[in-house]
A and B are shown apart, each in its own frame.
Chain A
Amino acid sequence: MTPRSRRAVNVVMSWLAALAAGLVVLPLLLIFAFLLWQGASAVNVDFFTHLPKPVGEVGGGMANAIVGTLMLLTLAAILGLPIGILRGLYLAESRDRRLPWVARFLADVLNGVPSIVVGIFAYTIIVLPMRRFSALAGAFALAVIMLPIVVRTSEELVRLVPASLREAGLALGIPEWKVLLRVVLRTARAGIITGVMVAIARVAGETAPLLFTAFGNRFWHQGLDQPIAALPLQIFAYAIAPYDDWHRQAWAGALVLIGLVFVVSFAARVATSGRFTGVR
């Protein structure tokens, strides 16, 4: 290959790569622009502070759904994160060969289970025995969906922690469990938090598993054992309704949902870009 043609190929490939990068970002920008165009007009103070109005009345907001979504996400994180992170730690650190392999395989299978199936699962083991839809059931379903993502990212990141750090800890006469929690996990923390944010962002918009668990609620929440409102549910309900005003509110809800995910991810990034970051 002559230098001339080598340079030509280089230029063409660089442009192709740049084009591909642009095409990847394009859908996100388009979605965001479309949401802004359709929904921005309905986003106002009322939207964040008021309950939905009865059918036929104009105005009102989705305050209960915003609070509901935040509560569901928090609860799901409380249920799912400790188990997920510890299981990831176990998978990365275990000296046994077979059991981690099985556990890892199952996590991958769980990752592929459609979210509506997870919803049915939560319906069967929580809603039916309790005889009512509840925030708890919704959070449980979301936690199950988060689990495999958290497990796999935790595992990968714990694996990235150099063995020399574990050895340094052990050689200081620190018990192994403390080395794992205080040195290894701490070193992997920044990366794990990124993974956790991905998981939270993923479940923030889940609608299907909430349909027959959290169920939705047109009022403020009345306890964790009661049905609770959630943004995706409200968006779904409003989007299929025959009223223009509701359609606008559905768009606004979608915009707020994306904004929420964006803010949470951004905050996590800032929070973990401290001075002493380990692996990410």
Chain B
Amino acid sequence: MADGIIVRDLNAWFGSAHVLHGIGVTIAPKAVTAVIGPSGCGKSTFIRCLNRMHEVVPGARVTGSVRAEGMDVYAPGIDPVQVRRKIGMVFQKPNPFPTMSVFDNVVAGLRLGGVRERSVLEEAAERALRQAALWDEVKDQLGKSGVSLSGGQQQRVCIARALAVEPEVLLMDEPCSALDPIATAKIEELILELRSTLTIVVVTHNMQQAARVSESTGFFLLGELVEFGVTRQLFTNPHDKRTEDYITGRFG
């Protein structure tokens, strides 16, 4: 079943600050959707609402509904742990667990989820590392510390770690902003490869990146979804004046 992510009337707060206003959007399954907008526009908060990571911050609150691949994310009986198994996340700064080896990092989700059999873990690690296009580079250093790799490799370890639990959706919060252009190109290539198996939402500051990797793009401004549409169209022929101002570099 693949029906993407349906967001209806999503509002989010940090304490009394209302940071997302009535977001409604339908994100296509097995495709890449980019989220762009200036700093502080709520784009990170938006994707953190999709896998219930927003509520991890003290004082944070959410209303509205999110339906991700058939799961009602904010239904009363749903455990956030279930949601996050289904919806993986990659963060802005590579954050491998420093006390774990590359291998242990990749299988952390499975192992802490109760998987014990060595063979299952090894299989999952290889599959995830291949998917993250990292297997050939690290297959001989699986026992090394996760933080001993380069920044780009660390980020791909984090992607492999997210993929190892076989999520249906992958959220990426500015996954390349801490990386150099070569590492960035690798991650982008990876995103393009992964889209046949996963629904991907990627937040980015880099409009060229959004144009390169995504089918659809949403533009956020001041906590509102100003425009959402086919990427090419949004960049070449935006409907909204504010979108046009942003993509032509007039502000933000």
Contact = CB atoms under 8 A, between A and B. Distances in A.
Interface of A: 95, 162, 164-175, 178-179, 182-183, 186-187, 189, 275-278
Given A167-B56, A178-B112, A182-B112, A173 B165 contact: yes
Contact of A172 (B82, B99, B112): B112
A167 B88 CA distance: 11
Contacts of A167: 53, 56, 91, 95
B100 A276 contact: yes
Interface in B37-91: 51, 53, 56, 58, 80-86, 88-89, 91
Given A168-B91, A175-B81, A276-B145, A183 B97 contact: yes
7 contacts: A167-B53, A168-B161, A169-B108, A169-B112, A172-B84, A173-B109, A183-B112
Given A168-B161, A171-B51, 8 more contacts: A95-B58, A165-B95, A167-B91, A173-B82, A174-B112, A175-B81, A183-B108, A276-B100
Interface in B93-116: 93, 95-101, 108-109, 112-113
* Interface SS, B side: mixed
Contacts of B112: 169, 172, 174, 178-179, 182-183
Nearest to A164: B95
B121 interface: no
B213 to A, nearest CB: 21
Given A95-B58, A275-B145, A276-B145, A170 B99 contact: no
B176 interface: no
A160 to B, nearest CB: 11
B97 A174 contact: no
A41 B51 CA distance: 69
A78 B83 CA distance: 38
Contacts of B53: 167, 170-171
B162 interface: yes
Contacts of A173: 81-86, 109, 113, 165
B109 A187 contact: no
Interface of B: 51, 53, 56, 58, 80-86, 88-89, 91, 93, 95-101, 108-109, 112-113, 145, 158, 161-162, 165
Contacts of A170: 53, 56, 80, 84
A135 B85 CA distance: 49
B97 A171 contact: no
Nearest to B109: A172
B161 A172 contact: yes
Residue among B84, B98, B145, B158 with the highest chain A CB neighbour number at 10 A: B98
A169 B53 CA distance: 11
Nearest to A183: B97
B165 A277 contact: no
Nearest to B101: A276
Contact of B95 (A162, A174, A189): A162
Contacts of B158: 168
Contacts of A277: 98-99
Contacts of B93: 164
Closest A-B pairs by Cβ, 5 of them: A173-B85, A172-B109, A173-B84, A171-B89, A164-B95
B98 A187 contact: yes
Contacts of A166: 56
Q: Which of A169, A172, A178, A189 has the most CB of B within 10 A?
A: A172
Contacts of B80: 170
A175 B145 CA distance: 24
Nearest to B84: A173
B84 A187 contact: no
Contacts of B99: 186-187, 189, 276-278
Contacts of A187: 97-99
